[in-house]
Amino acid sequence: LDAALHPDPRLRPRDGLAWQALWQVAAVAEEQRAYAARDPAARLHIGYDSHIGRMKVLLTQTNQDALFVSSKGPLSMLVVCDGISTANAGTGDVASSIASNVIATLWEQALPRLVAAGPVEIREFLDRALRMANQAVCEAAMRFAGGNLDGRVPMGTTAVVALVFGNRVWLAWLGDSRAYLCGGYGASLLTFDENQASERLRAWHLGFLDRWDPSGFALIGYLGHFDEMARAEALPAHHTSFTLCPGERLVLCSDGVTDYLGDTHPEAALFVADAVRDSDPFEAARNLVAQANRGGGGDNITAITARLWDR
């Protein structure tokens, strides 16, 4: 579908038969996924890269993105956080660093239990990790504000987190950092952006708006959220889970990647798919960062890519 909707006609399928062939590849992949057995012996091959951004570096030397990667036998944890740059009670880089470190610490502590955990326990762990990260970011923001948030913008951060057990992936996210699943069918977006523009699009689709207003990309989902009484209040995370099949690539990235790969979602998705195709995970991550820099590099750029090890 992304290929068919590409704004450049030269990059669309040449005819209906070519598009149907792509559709069949995707349908076969989903059928294989539906019947794939859980493989707790599978191991993940992970690569990552991060860059301030070739234009962003002219304004600041700070990378407000943070990442965490860890593998322990069949278990792996992948985290990308993107700090909010408009904060004046703390900073985006501090928020993303706190969040990723809290999640990393809880991951290390929970490893003995996660080895025997089922789907319910894994989801509960992800929710708890994000709640604790929210609490830590809020406490730090309050200290930066001297105990009073009046007139202040507390720091915050996005988070997209993947916990992988063998060939099974559990994904949780808040904000507009994204996850893609890539294969012969292209790049499938696993998350949706939690921002005002995305909310307006959903409202328009449901008939609640007369016209589309493209302005307003402020986040409505993030870590570092306070309630009306200035108490830490974690927003509910979004979840999905799926089986990672041989040959597929999982990609987690900040919006500094996707915003500078193309002007539209189909453009960005095709660039993501091309960058990781037939690549070592580290090379794939470097490809994504390099392509985003070539596209402008106006934001911090972070990418994690992963695939199953060949056996």
**How many separate helices (H) and strands (E) can be counted in the chain?**
7, 10
171 Cβ neighbours under 8 A, 6+ residues apart: 160, 161, 162, 179, 190, 191, 239, 240, 241, 242
Calpha distance 76→160 (Å, rounded): 14
pLDDT band at 263 (very low <50, low <70, confident <90, very high): confident
pLDDT for position 11 = 60
Place of tokens 């996005």: 158
pLDDT digits (tens, 9 = 90+) for 40-86: 999 999 999 999 999 999 988 899 999 999 999 999 999 999 999 88
Pick the CATH number of 9-308 from 1.10.10.60, 3.50.50.60, 3.60.40.10, 3.30.420.130: 3.60.40.10
Is the pLDDT assigned to residue 205 strictly greater than 60? no
pLDDT for position 214 = 54
pTM above 0.85, yes or no: yes
pLDDT band at 305 (very low <50, low <70, confident <90, very high): very high
CB 298 within 8 A of CB 60: no
Q: Residue ranges of the domains in the chain?
A: 9-308
CB 189 within 8 A of CB 207: no
